[in-house]
Structure 1
Amino acid sequence: MARRGWQQKKAALALDQKLATGYVLSGTVGQRIFYEKAVLRAGTLTTFIWEYPAAQKQAMDAVIRHTISTLQPGGD
């Protein structure tokens, strides 16, 4: 969705980080938290987005850490 899409939803960005091979965005939209990460490798853009109720933050932090550590971006 990237920054512009979240801004259109009136998101409050807590993290807006450019990486050498992509980006990370995180913040809130109302009572929901979102985390978006994109990685470009070998011409393929791999993106994941998690959006969930703020009340589930503790459980979802572990899920997001696992997703980040196991993400295998596309490309050879």
Structure 2
Amino acid sequence: MQKVVFNVFIIYIIALLLTSCSSVKPYERVYVNDPEMQMTIDSGKKFSTYVYSIREGATPAGTNKSSGGCGCN
């Protein structure tokens, strides 16, 4: 029992050491604050439309973005 607890403890410590937080430098904040990276109310719908346009090779009615079916715009 003690060996199992010890192994779990070691795995937990290793997982803690492998995870990290990264700090963002002031000049890199412009990329984080990009409007395309912000979640909006309809961002899920936009992504769904994008995936649909790639799969079907056509865009649904009422959208202005079109792609060739390969994922390129």
Query: Where on the TM-score scale, by shorter chain, does this alignment land: which range?
Result: under 0.3
- Bigger relative contact order, structure 1 or 2 (CA pairs below 8 A, ≥6 apart): 1
The TM-score normalised by the length of structure 2 is 0.26
Q: 1 or 2, which has the higher strand percentage?
A: 1
Q: 1 or 2, which has the higher helix percentage?
A: 2
The TM-score normalised by the length of structure 1 is 0.26
- Higher CA-based Rg: 2
